[in-house]
Amino acid sequence: MPYSAPAAEFRFLMDHIVGFDEVMASARFAEATPDTVNAIITEAAKLNDEVIAPLQRVGDTQGAVLENGVVRTSPGFADAYRAIVEGGWVGMAGETDYGGMGLPFTLNAVFNEMISGAALALGLIPLLAQGQIDALETHASDAIKALYLPRLNSGEWSGTMNLTEPQAGSDVGALNSRAVPNGDGSYAITGQKIFISWGDHDFGGNICHLVLARLPDGVPGTKGISLFMVPKFIPDETGEPGARNSLSVVSLEHKLGLHGSPTCVMAFEGATGWLVGAEHGGMAAMFTMMNNARLQVGVQGVGIAEGAYQHALGYAMERKQGRSPLPDGTGTIVDFADVRRMLMEAKAEIFAARAIALACAVAIDMEKATGTPEWIARAALLTPIAKSYGSDTAQKVAYIGVQVHGGMGFVEETGAAQYTRDARVLTIYEGTNGIQAMDLVGRKMMDGGEAACRLCEEIEAEAEAARATMPELAEAVWIAAETLR
C-alpha cells in the first residue's frame, strides 16, 4: 500500500482540536487564510505522495556512500530535493526579509510530518536547514543573515548542526574542538565531529555547518562554548561558493536505519568560520536550533508511525490466511479481531501524538505572534512532551506493523522492518527521551508547575463540556487530568 499523506486528518485537527484558528486570526500570520492553508496542505500531500514516497525503499536498499571523499546520495534523491526546492518548501516559516514565506511554523510541521512518513531519510535535509534558519534569525549578525538566510530559505544551500564528538555526546561541554581568531573577524576551527546528518551530499550549492567550538579563553564546560558558521565553500565577494574550506568527510556511519541519510564523521582542520551570537554563548544559540529540531523529531516520529500503519493496514487488507471470521469464511487477516485491535491501537496513538505535536507548533506560532508569557511557557512545556511521545509512538507503531505482517514482517522484502529500523534513532537523537524527561521536570517545572496546571485546567474544562454527550469517557479524562495535576 503506497503512502498517502493524511491531509484530511491535518485539516480536522487544525480546524477543531489544536486552536490553529488563533494563529490565522493573529496579525503576524494574517496571510495564512483558510484557502491558503488548504492549498498548502493539498500541494504538500501531492509532492510527498507522488515524488518523495517512491524513494522510501530506494534510500534503504541503496543508501548513501562515500567515494573519493565525496558523498553519493541514493538514486532519485537529488531530483526529489530539487522538487522540494522548486516548491519553496524549505523556507516556509522563514522571515520574509530574508526570502522566507513567513508562514506559520505549524504548516512547516505538517509538511515535515508528511515527508517523514514518505521518506524520512530525505526529509532530514530540509528539516536541518529549517532549524539552522531559526538559529541564524535569532542569533546571527546582520552580515551573516544577509549572506546565508536567503540561500538557506531558497534551499540553494543546505545546513547541518555539529555538536557531538566521540567523547562528548549528551555531555556537550566536554567537547575538544577549538576556535582561534584569525585577526580578520574570522576564526580557524579545528576538531572532529560525529553523527553529522547530511554533512555532505551531491546536490550542488553550499553546505553550511554550524559548529560548536571553544575559544582560547573559553572556560571548561558549556559556558565556554561558542558557535560558528563554517561553510563547505567560502563565499566569494558576490556571495557565491568560492574556495574549498579546510574540512572533510572522514567516513560515513554504517547505521541500523536511515541508510539514505549520510551520517558523517567530519574533520575541521583550521577551517575558516565566523562567530554566530556572542562569544561563549554558543549553547544558547545552538539550543534555538535544537529546540526547533526536538519538536521536529516528534513530528518525524508521527510521520514514521503513519507510514508504518498504512503499510500494515494495506497488508492486512490483502493477506489471506486461515478461515476468516466472516460468515462465509472468506476475507483477509484484517477481519480477525486481534489484527483489528492492533491497527486501531496504532491509529489512536498516531492521532494523539499528531495532536500533541501540532498543539506545540501552534504554541510556537502564538509565542511569535503575541510574545506573551503564557504562550512562551506553553511552547516550552510541550516541546519535550511532543518529542518524547512522538518518537515513542514511532517505536510502538512500527513494532505493531511488523506484528501485523507476521513472519513476513521479519523479512526485509515487505518493507515493514524498515520502519522499525528507521524509527529507532528518534528516541536517541536531539536529546534522548531520558534527557527530555530531565528537561521537563528540571527546567519546565521551574515555574512551580504553573504552565502544566494551566494545561490540566484546559483538559478538565473540555471534559466537563463533554459530560452531557459522553459521560463515561469525559469522567475518565477528567480524573486523569486531576491525577496528573
Active-site residue set: 430
Q: What is d(CA 206, CA 247) in angstroms, rounded to the nearest whole number?
A: 13
The grid coordinates listed for 413 are 522484502
Q: What residues are paired with 208 via a beta bridge? A: 159, 231
- Residue pair 43/87 in contact (Cβ under 8 Å)? The answer is yes
Query: Under the phi-then-psi rule, with left for phi > 0, alpha for psi from -120 to 50, and beta for the rest, what region is 68?
Result: left
The size of the chain, in residues, is 485
SS3 assignment, position 268: strand
Residue 252's identity, in one-letter code, is L
The residues, any chain, with a CB within 8 Å of residue 120's CB and separated by 6 or more, are 258, 261, 300, 303, 304, 422
Which letter, b or e, does each residue of 142-165 get, where b requires 16 or more Cβ atoms within 10 Å of its Cβ? eebbebbbbbbbbbbbbbbbbbbb
322, with CB counted inside 10 A (0-12, 13-18, 19+), is exposed
Residue holding cell 463533554?
466
Q: How far apart are CA 446 and CA 50, in angstroms?
A: 46
> How many whole angstroms separate alpha carbon 201 and alpha carbon 56?
18
Beta-bridge partners for 235: 241
Neighbours of 194 (CB within 10 A): 20
